[in-house]
Amino acid sequence: MNLTASDMTSGARYDHNYLALPAVLTGKCLLVAPEIIVSDLVCEEALHVIPGSRTPSGMQYRAYAVDRSDNPEIARAFCRWVARLCKKAAIPETSC
């Protein structure tokens, strides 16, 4: 975002997103987090996305099931559920 090190002030660092959320909700710091963690807070306008700050993570998730299972449909249903959950939690670029 065209910032230099002198443009920023370092502060507390947290080992986990869930520990950082109370700090960022005070409005005194910034949070870099996966959208799925903060999507509800953004939609409720408790958090605001800084314009131009989104970046693709390149992360991919895969689910595997034993191919000799007696009921492979359960694994397929689980994968479909997870995909729907992630799509629903994604924050639209315009608004919630």
* 2-36 per-position pLDDT tens digit: 878 888 888 888 888 888 898 899 887 888 888 88
Domain ranges of the chain: 5-89
Alpha helices in 9-94 (DSSP H): 17-25, 35-43, 72-89
Q: What is the pLDDT of residues 40-80, one digit of tens each?
A: 898 899 999 888 888 877 777 777 777 787 888 888 898 88
Assess whether pLDDT exceeds 70 at residue 96.
no
Assess whether pLDDT exceeds 60 at residue 95.
no
Radius of gyration of the chain (CA): 18
Cα–Cα dist 38/21, whole Å: 9
Cα–Cα dist 58/41, whole Å: 23
| 19 vs 91, more confident | 19
C-beta neighbour count of 30 within 10 angstroms? 13
Cα–Cα dist 35/41, whole Å: 10
93 falls in which pLDDT band (50, 70, 90)?
low
Residue 12: half-sphere exposure toward Cβ, Cα within 13 Å: 13
